[in-house]
Amino acid sequence: MHQPRHRIRRHRHPVILGAATALVIAALASASNSLPPPSRASAGPVASTGSAGLGPCRISSTMGVQMSEGMPTQPGYARSTGQIHALNLMVDFPDAPGTEPAMDRLAEFFPQTTDWFRTSSYGRLTYVPEAPVKTWLRMPLPFSGYGIERGSPYEPGYRHLVQDIVATADPKVNFSAYDLVNIIVSPNAGPSALDTVLSVTFSGNNDAPYADGVPLANASFVYSRQDDGSGSYAQTGYRVLPHENGHVFGLPDLYTMEGGGSVGHWDIMSEDWGANNDLLGWHKWKLGWLDNSQISCASRPGTSDHVLEPLATRGGMKLAFVPLTAESGYAVEVRTQAGNDQAVCRPGVLIYKVSSDVDTGQGPISVADSTKDSSGCTRLPNVHAELSDAPFQPGQTFTDRASGIHISVVDKDAKGNYRVRITRP
């Protein structure tokens, strides 16, 4: 019997392209170039608006940092609230023809992706998937002819592929009617995801080929199947798509060269294999899914108490933030096994540091582990076990000795809300 491999997604990064510049952010890359910000509308419209008292906690985006965690989200990404229309094109190749109906391949991702975004956004993002072409779009070149490998740059292979996609689909598709594009490739094109992950996103690429007067500027490419043999693919295999679309909305990769070790399974931008998981509260605020009134800013010296409701529930105070510098701070939220959080085995108060001056894939967020070296509380496949029991419980305190900040979990009430006490010099 085949023994399932324990797979944690590693080394896959989005690619962000400026108006005349191509950038590849990939593991083992020998160079990285900073880009000027594109000039399109920003994501996260709610998070970008002002609110009295929250200024110090809305850490700023850092110029030259790819997919900065700061606010507001830098221009160039798709809208993250309201109704967005996603164009889905199923693509195959002469040397890798689709062996199943194209709509069956689409059904691997929908309606699960739509449901995931509805749940995570508390209904603030209505994700409308559309597939005007119901059959495979056959590319003129074999898959090998485009030279696509892990971490491939946009030039020249992906540009050539996008040009061929536009030429093939344009007679049947009005590209100007969509907010983002998903290119769902026949799973027999390229290697298995167990060997290498090819899925990638190009965001803010105003230099992309045009169709119907608009560039294919925000496009996610999904290859292979994230199937580890554990029998969970039908329930969890779709999750690569909301991860990739997270980049389209401006969110960075939270895993690092070592895998999911800095955030673990607490955000889909860290681990998107295996059991379901949600986004961090910081990302929900950044995307406009949490109101400013749901954020408590602990920026003043002294001690303050903050009562936080579980992140998975609608309404109520969701996030306390403790700014350290103009580019960093600690976020505090309550995580429970509810909503999109299937793998939570130790509910409690999650504390993590956010740094807006750290690039995607380099650790812009790091979770504080309340039970270091415990080996965790889960044995689910593809979940970073060590951080699975990271949340703090009543009576526990997180301390940053360098800044003198203390974050203590005081108690939990009958409704599951936690009272957190924050002390800063």
Q: Reduced to 3 states, what is the DSSP secondary structure of residue 285?
A: helix
Query: Where do the DSSP E strands lie in 262-382?
Result: 295-297, 302-308, 319-325, 328-335, 348-355, 365-367
Look up residue 328 and give its two tokens: 């960093």
Q: Reduced to 3 states, what is the DSSP secondary structure of residue 259?
A: strand
Interval 80-125: pLDDT, tens: 999 999 999 999 999 999 999 999 999 999 999 999 999 999 999 9
Please compute, for residue 253, the number of CA atoms within 13 A of its CA located in the half-sphere on the CB side.
28
pLDDT of residue 396: 98
Q: Reduced to 3 states, what is the DSSP secondary structure of residue 48?
A: coil
pLDDT at 335 over 50: yes
Residue 24 confidence class, pLDDT cut points 50, 70, 90: very low
Q: Are 73 and 250 in contact (CB under 8 A)?
A: yes
Mean predicted confidence (pLDDT) in 203-230 = 90
Instruction: Report the run of H or E that residue 422 belongs to, with start and end.
Output: strand 418-424
pLDDT of residue 259: 61
pLDDT of residue 74: 84
Residue 257 confidence class, pLDDT cut points 50, 70, 90: low
Q: Are 168 and 138 in contact (CB under 8 A)?
A: yes
pLDDT at 1 over 70: no
pLDDT at 316 over 70: yes
Single pTM value for the model: 0.90
Instruction: Report the run of H or E that residue 283 belongs to, with start and end.
Output: helix 281-286
pLDDT at 381 over 70: yes
pLDDT at 344 over 60: yes
pLDDT of residue 255: 85
Q: What is the secondary structure of 133-168 as a DSSP string?
A: --S-EE-SS-GGGGT--TT--IIIIIHHHHHHHHHH
Query: Where do the DSSP E strands lie in 158-284?
Result: 180-185, 200-203, 210-211, 214-215, 219-222
- Range from 26-35, 106-115, 249-258, 306-315 carrying the lowest mean pLDDT: 26-35
Q: 257-261: long-range contacts (C-beta < 8 A, 24 or more apart)?
A: 257/10, 257/11, 257/27, 257/361, 258/10, 259/8, 259/9, 259/10, 259/384, 260/8, 260/9, 260/384, 260/387, 261/384, 261/386, 261/387
Tell me the C-alpha distance between 206 and 399, whole Å: 44
Q: Are 107 and 72 in contact (CB under 8 A)?
A: no
- Range from 219-233, 258-272, 286-300 carrying the lowest mean pLDDT: 258-272
Tell me the C-alpha distance between 355 and 271, whole Å: 19
Give the rounded percent of residues in the chain with a pLDDT score beyond 90.
76
Q: Are 184 and 88 in contact (CB under 8 A)?
A: yes
Mean predicted confidence (pLDDT) in 195-218 = 90
Tell me: cis bond preceding 156? Omega within 30 of 0 counts: yes
pLDDT of residue 258: 63
pLDDT at 53 over 70: yes
Higher pLDDT, 53 or 26: 53
Please name every residue paired with 398 in a beta bridge, in sequence order, or none if there are none.
407
Q: What is the secondary structure of 77-124 as a DSSP string?
A: S---SEEEEEEEEEEEBTTB--SS-HHHHHTTTTTHHHHHHHHHTTTS
Q: Are 274 and 232 in contact (CB under 8 A)?
A: yes
pLDDT of residue 9: 42
Look up residue 73 and give its two tokens: 């989200």
Mean predicted confidence (pLDDT) in 166-188 = 97
Question: Measuring CA to CA, which residue among 321, 339, 314 is closest to residue 420?
Answer: 321
Rounded to 5, what percent of the chain is helix, strand, coil? 15, 25, 60
Phi-psi region of 67 (alpha: psi -120 to 50; beta: other; left: phi over 0): left
Residue 16 confidence class, pLDDT cut points 50, 70, 90: very low
Mean predicted confidence (pLDDT) in 305-317 = 98
Look up residue 56 and give its two tokens: 């110090």
Look up residue 124 and give its two tokens: 């603030």
Tell me the C-alpha distance between 216 and 178, whole Å: 10
Domains located in the chain, CATH noted: 15-36+78-249 (3.40.390), 281-424 (no CATH)
pLDDT of residue 207: 84
β 82-92/302-308 pair status = unpaired
Kindly report the average pLDDT of the chain as a whole number: 88
Tell me the C-alpha distance between 258 and 363, whole Å: 10
